[in-house]
């Protein structure tokens, strides 16, 4: 049992807790990491956009990213990139035809890869 006043105990613990919090959150404790993305990420994103358009989704600000999506796909699959470039061009020129154009483009794109089952080492 301590005979020190309660305010004294609180005031000595407060600076210590603040010091621990600041040290734990310092910049040196956080490492910058680069996570490499597979080239198919752009193709998957483009495929998702086209699927949404084929279901009647409106053309919005994502149209500004069409060119970067095409360039991302072009690194791995030039044919698919050409298909996307043509489809996105048609959608930009005539947004009212986006559902038809998207369905046609989806039919021309390669099938997405099937997910592989997790191995025993990957499962918790």
Domain boundary assignment for the chain: 40-108
Calpha distance 21→29 (Å, rounded):
12
Q: Which tokens in the block code for residue 41?
A: 């990420």
- Report helix, strand or coil for 44: helix
Residue 98 has a CB neighbour count (10 Å cut-off) of 24
What's residue 89's pLDDT?
A: 96
What's residue 35's pLDDT?
A: 55
Whole-Å CA distances, 24 to 8, 11, 21, 93: 25, 20, 5, 53
What's residue 41's pLDDT?
A: 86
pLDDT in tens, the chain (124 residues): 555 555 555 566 666 666 666 665 555 555 666 555 455 788 999 999 999 999 999 999 999 999 999 999 999 899 999 999 999 999 999 999 999 999 999 999 988 777 677 666 555 5
């Amino acid at each position: 049992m301590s005979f020190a006043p309660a305010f004294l105990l609180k005031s000595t613990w407060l600076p210590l807790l603040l010091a621990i919090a600041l040290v734990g959150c310092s910049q040196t404790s956080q490492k910058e990491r680069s996570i490499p993305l597979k080239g198919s990420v752009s193709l998957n994103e483009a495929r998702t956009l086209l699927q949404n358009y084929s279901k009647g989704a409106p053309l919005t600000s994502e149209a500004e990213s069409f060119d970067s999506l095409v360039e991302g796909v072009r690194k791995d699959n030039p044919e698919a990139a050409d298909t996307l470039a043509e489809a996105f061009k048609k959608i930009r020129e005539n947004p009212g035809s986006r559902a038809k154009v998207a369905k046609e483009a989806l039919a021309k794109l390669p099938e997405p890869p099937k997910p592989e089952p997790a191995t025993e080492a990957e499962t918790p």
